[in-house]
Amino acid sequence: LRSRHVPYGDIPKTPDLKRAYDVVIIGGGGHGLAAAYYLSNVHGITNVAVLEKGYLAGGNTARNTTTIRSNYMTPESVAFYKEGVELYETMSQDLGFNIMFSQRGQLTLAHSEATLRSFHLRAEMGKYMGTKIEVVDVQTVRDLCPDLNLDIGGQHEILGGLWHADGGTARHDAVAWGYAKHAAARGVEIHQRTEVLGLGKTGDRVTEIKTNRGTIAAGQVLQAVGGLNGQVAELAGIKLPIRCFPLQAMVTQPLKPFLNTLVSSANLHTYLVQSSRGEIVIGGGSDPYQLASTRSTLDQKEHLAEGALHLFPFLHKVKLLRQWAGITDMTPDYSPIMGASPLSNYWLDCGWGTWGFKATPVAGKRMAETIATGRVPDILKPFDMRRFDNFALLNEMGATAASH
Ligand code: FAD
């Protein structure tokens, strides 16, 4: 795959829909496009249509704060996300497209002894699984992030941190465009402004995909529609254990570089990273109510500003440039649902909530493998939706919190 050059230029215009495809991917976000890339470039399956109701990767892929990391709690999650980080490390070369991967490391702050204890558990799991992770003391926190306010007015004194040297960021649009260009170059059709409105079934198969541009058939169907995963699954008669919540973020005006790591505080429900343009990207937890809306709110702006100012008080005169929201599809255990559905030709890549950008390459790669071979690879098996019936949950709430 390495260094194959695909010329720059536009993604081809949306063509007319054919009557049938070998594979239809519902959702042209990062995950759907990555799956299209691996299907066409690795497995040689090119009679593929990606159906996107809006513009290319304009959903959560366009709205996320691009944290990439593998410092999770369970061995199943660490193994999966570690493969994702490794794919990011070579993605610019693999795609011949600069995705601006910046592996600056992620620092998660401990404001209590209880948090430090949980960090030790995560660090031991991460080391055992081969990731770069360690619990660090206050002096090391100061060395990693000299401008951080360590006492935070006495309220949330910083006692140490979890340092994950593998952590980083990448340019979200470039990831999606890189995959789209290579998939399109192999003949995958990308249909923008094409919304799936209904799914017709015969027995245990989806046989009809009804869109605003006509009805098509498919041998296999992959659903990867971000915040709307619960709603689209219902079109196929599948009830997913997913609820959707808005998630907001904002950026400041550009500043001289001062923040060399990603910094996150679960106690303050705030995380910050400085973008390559100098803007400070600020995010936090989901909104506290269920809603499928991308409107941002004053409440959340105040909350994020408060957390950011506790950590970096000197930002108090800095102006905000933008604030936005995405819709996140949250599962009860804060882990995704990947693999089989109750229907024999309908595959799920969903429940990505607030943490799915980092998984874009690995989910695409492994879902493509699943569709191409008809077998769910071992690395995906723990994420099967039946885990909620079998009480085999993958609880990642503590490792997700405000770290994304
Ligand atoms: P999306 O990018 O949402 O793509 C799904 C696509 O499906 C959309 O383009 C949508 O228009 C389309 N679609 C929906 N319904 C239909 C239909 N009926 N027919 C056709 N198309 C349809 N993750 C991280 O790893 N790190 C982070 O730092 C991080 N920060 C985040 C910050 C914010 C503010 C938000 C909102 C999310 C964040 N996330 C983060 C989560 C991450 O953005 C998502 O989990 C990830 O982008 C999901 O990718 P996707 O391709 O599955 O979904």
pLDDT digits (tens, 9 = 90+) for 234-257: 999 999 999 999 999 999 999 999
DSSP, collapsed to helix, strand or coil, labels residue 348 as strand
Residue 3, pLDDT above cutoff 50:
no
Query: In the prediction, which pLDDT does 61 show?
Result: 98
The answer to whether 199 and 235 are in contact (CB under 8 A) is yes
CA–CA gap between residue 212 and residue 199 (Å, rounded): 12
Looking at ligand 1, which atom is closest to the CA of residue 32?
51
Running DSSP on this structure, what letter comes out for residue 70?
-
Please give the distance of CA 104 from its chain centroid, rounded to a whole number. 18
Residues 6+ apart with CB under 8 A from 154: none
Higher-confidence residue of 153 and 390: namely: 390
Query: In the prediction, which pLDDT does 9 show?
Result: 59
Residue 182, pLDDT above cutoff 80:
yes
Residue 155 banded pLDDT, cuts 50, 70, 90? confident
Query: In the prediction, which pLDDT does 156 show?
Result: 85
The answer to whether 130 and 78 are in contact (CB under 8 A) is no
Query: In the prediction, which pLDDT does 227 show?
Result: 97
Residue nearest to atom 40 of ligand 1 (CA): 355
CA–CA gap between residue 373 and residue 351 (Å, rounded): 23
> How many angstroms separate the alpha carbon of residue 31 from the centre of ligand 1?
8
Q: Which of 367, 380, 386, 393 is nearest to 73 (CA)?
A: 393
φ/ψ of residue 138, rounded to 5 = -65, -40
Distances (CA, A) of 229 to 61, 95, 223, 236, 238: 14, 28, 8, 11, 10
Instruction: At 181, list the tokens.
Output: 């260009």
Residue 70, pLDDT above cutoff 60:
yes
> How many angstroms separate the alpha carbon of residue 326 from the centre of ligand 1?
7
Residue 108 Cβ contacting ligand 1 at under 6 Å: no
Query: In the prediction, which pLDDT does 142 show?
Result: 97
The crossing angle, in degrees rounded to 10, of helices 172-185 and 30-41 is 30
Q: Which of 31, 363, 362 is nearest to 183 (CA)?
A: 31
Instruction: Give this complex's ipTM.
Output: 0.99
CA–CA gap between residue 314 and residue 258 (Å, rounded): 12
CA–CA gap between residue 159 and residue 25 (Å, rounded): 47
CA–CA gap between residue 343 and residue 207 (Å, rounded): 11
> How many angstroms separate the alpha carbon of residue 229 from the centre of ligand 1?
10
